[in-house]
Amino acid sequence: MTSRPVVVATFAAAFVGAAVIANRLAGKPVPFLRWSVIRFALGARRLLGEGQVGDGREEALAAHVLATARRGDLDDVIRTIDEFAHTRSFLMNVGDEKGEILDAAVRSARPALLLELGTYCGYSALRMARVMPPNATICTVEINPANEAIARRIFEHAGVGERITSVVGSIGDGGETVRRLRDEYGIDTGTVDFVFVDHLKSAYLPDLLRIVDEGWLHPGSRVVADNVRFPGAPDYLAYMRSEEGGRWRTTEHPTHVEYQRVLRDLVLESEYQG
């Protein structure tokens, strides 16, 4: 005789499968009823530990971009990544809606040197490269070597490989990456004009404080942080609010989690006062 838990699990699986199929036939109006989103949620533990979902979507993205996006066309590469995330597999990059907030911040700051924490597959670096001044450069730090390699291939395909330097490492690794950024990549006192933070949420605040302690920022440097509400960086949000009008001046941008309009999110844009 089949046990009640097995019957319930079987029924639930059948219900979810039917709902996903119905959602697909309806044009995917419900973002959570996509297999790629469900697999993303089920792979959350691996994602936090390794930086990839575990179903090969990151490598599939690179293959798709190189096969379908026009080589040397930055706009088409960005469009292709967005299309992939909307129609094939959900991606944890900043996305098109929040990407416009990032674009506006970079245009306003007109930075010469940008530092990114959390490259993933390179989407946000591409967006920043599109709107930053012609002679500006980006240094992007990614803890997962496979992600860094994927991003580098995409940067080269988009024609911006010479303007974006990708570094495997972590600000919180005990000083090794900080040393390399300083000694090998020229990031030093007062040189960083713009920081985009989109990596491990619990690392937002300690990594920012390390950057401040290193003296890399200057009055007027901007720091933009994604996913402050969801999945959330509560200590970072509390810090910025407590420092408002003192060391920092912050604009809070209400928005949505990438590639959907149901879950709400918050992007912080903070200007360092010194």
Q: What stretches of 36-188 adopt beta strand conformation (E)?
A: 113-117, 137-142, 164-168
CA Rg, the chain, in Å?
A: 20
Active-site residue flag, 144: no
Kindly report the backbone phi and psi dihedral angles of residue 194, in degrees, each rounded to the nearest multiple of 5, phi listed first: -150, 135
Which residues neighbour 253 within 8 Å (Cβ) at sequence distance 6 or greater?
Answer: 98, 101, 266, 267, 268, 269
Active-site residue flag, 227: yes
The pairing of strands 264-272 and 248-256 is antiparallel
Q: Residue 190 has which token pair?
A: 């007062």
Active-site residue flag, 198: yes
Q: Residue 244 has which token pair?
A: 């408002």
Residue tagged active-site, from 58, 82, 96, 226: 226
Residue tagged active-site, from 58, 116, 258, 265: 258
Residue tagged active-site, from 142, 193, 198, 269: 198
Which residues neighbour 155 within 8 Å (Cβ) at sequence distance 6 or greater?
Answer: 122, 125, 126, 161, 164, 166
Q: Residue 258 has which token pair?
A: 């990438």
Which residues neighbour 168 within 8 Å (Cβ) at sequence distance 6 or greater?
Answer: 141, 142, 143, 144, 145, 148
Residue tagged active-site, from 147, 201, 207, 269: 201
Residue tagged active-site, from 93, 144, 147, 227: 227
Which residues are identified as catalytic?
198, 201, 226-227, 258
